[in-house]
Amino acid sequence: MIKINVKHENRVTHKTECLIVFCAETAKPEGDLKKTDSLLKGAVARAMKDKRFEGKLNQTLLIDTLGTVAANHILLAGVGKKEELNLNKLFQASGSAAKRAEKAKCKKIACAPLDSSLSKKLGAKKSSAYDPASQAVAEGLHLSLYRFEVYKTKKKGDPEPVRVKDAVLLAASAGAAAGMKRGAGRAKIVADATAFTRDLQCHPGNTATPSFLARQAQAMAKSAGLKCRIVSPPEMQKLGMGALLGVGRGSAEPSKLILLEYSGGKKGQAPVALVGKGITFDTGGISLKPPPNMHEMKMDMSGGAAVIGALQAVAGLKLPVNVVGIIPAAENMPGSRAIKPGDILTSLSGKTIEVLNTDAEGRLVLSDALTYAARFKPRAIVDLATLTGAVLHCLGHHASAVVGSDQDLMDQLIQSGEKTGERVWQLPLWEEYESAIKSDVADLKNIAGPAVMAGTIMGGAFLKAFVDDVPWAHVDIAGVAWGDEKPCAPKGASGYGVRLLVNFLENAR
């Protein structure tokens, strides 16, 4: 993580290698940028006239100041149309600018204050509270520069790559600086948790076993002041977690049920339960996946990683809410003891499940975790899982899908998705879907069969059978947990879910 400070200093006199200036789409410089451009002898105006820079979202332009101001370079960062500006677009623009500055081999950068017309559009809070715009900018700076290089070796004599190490957020007034510092502080807490989640996603399967995930959760909990308990297979057997144990049966790695508790709300207040799928590697089991891209199945624990990261952020932010995190962790392997198509498992709920496809294992481990979550008498349950490839056909890499039993709960998640850019799109969950997972030989079957489409919805329909009388939402993150590079995320692990859940918990009704 880079170091970010806040200073009340004029953008013209602040000495830095690169000064980032956020600009909306416009035909010519306006407001504070117009004043700066006069010192730059019209360089910005010429770039706009020639359409080398138009202020489009994530567009950047680096200008050498030639000593006309204290900064060596001015970096224009587009935020799109002014009337459509929101915190997510500012977050993206900040990330795009940070990457461009690092590409230009800048070690120290600064961000100019937002033009007054832009800050008004974002609805800045009073100075005594945190400044949400500063949080968005700082999160973008942190997360765009994330790298996972744990397994790379350095050769002796190789030059150190030039990286952005320090950033300054410039405040327009001394009064504004206090709120900006709080915003930047919040950003570091959320960004650290997201980076931790990405790290967990990136570790290979020979490192990130269920036991490794449990140890990481324990270490985080100890540092953050959370309660943590790990349920091992013998206790799972006594409890009757036949679905979770069944999935892990083909692996030499023992399954784990990770329990995290944060008590920031009133004593006795019902918690929100977060459940995250923790399949640390998914071969598909006996129903083996095709070999191409199977290496990416180390990320099948992304839902569990996001829940662990979200609990870290919630504790760091000291949110006034009680939260329980439950992560069923297992490895799905085709070993000699692995479950077979046609096997019948008895879940913690007592319901029996006919396994028609061992590659539909995520819903099996979640079934026991959801039943266990009810023991905490939560006011709501939200589960995150890389559950189906079908969600990619539906939404691509741009949004997760949500189904559930409570419209208000789903609406809250959708609203948090819009605010954070971790978008959520609702799919229907009608009775017809639920009837399609009834088995002829057991209570349920884990897939509806080849004649029934709507794979993402069918996964949700299966999970609904294990949630009784509690508002519940299932978020399928298979399309957004891992993917191509984005302004604030690298190629690969996105850490999706941490920022979504933190915003949801901050505003949960």
453-488 burial, b at 16+ Cβ within 10 Å, e below that, comes to ebbbbbbbbbbbbbbeebbbbbbbbbbbbbbeebbb
CB-side neighbour CA atoms (13 Å) of 369: 38
R_g (Cα) of the chain, nearest Å: 24
In degrees, rounded to 5, the angle at the alpha carbon of residue 207 between the alpha carbons of residues 286 and 260 is: 90
**Phi, psi dihedral angles at 406 (to 5 degrees):** -135, 115
The set of residues, in sequence order, having a beta carbon less than 8 Å from that of 224 and lying 6+ positions away, is 311, 312, 315, 316
At 474 the three-state DSSP class reads strand
At 407 the three-state DSSP class reads helix
**Phi, psi dihedral angles at 22 (to 5 degrees):** -85, 130
Active site residues: 289, 363
DSSP state of 122: T
CA dist 269 to 265, 280, 369, Å?
7, 33, 21
At 414 the three-state DSSP class reads helix
The Cα–Cα gap between 109 and 73 comes to 9
| Closest listed residue to residue 192, CA positions, set 504, 493, 498, 500 | 498
HEC assignment per residue over 342-393: CCEEECCCCCEEECCCCCCCHHHHHHHHHHHHHHHCCCEEEEEECCCCHHHH
CA dist 468 to 57, 360, 508, Å?
44, 22, 20
**Phi, psi dihedral angles at 65 (to 5 degrees):** -80, -15
Instruction: Report whether 334 contacts 277 (CB < 8 A).
Output: no
The Cα–Cα gap between 124 and 399 comes to 27
- The dihedral region occupied by 161, where left means phi > 0, alpha psi between -120 and 50, and beta the remainder, is beta
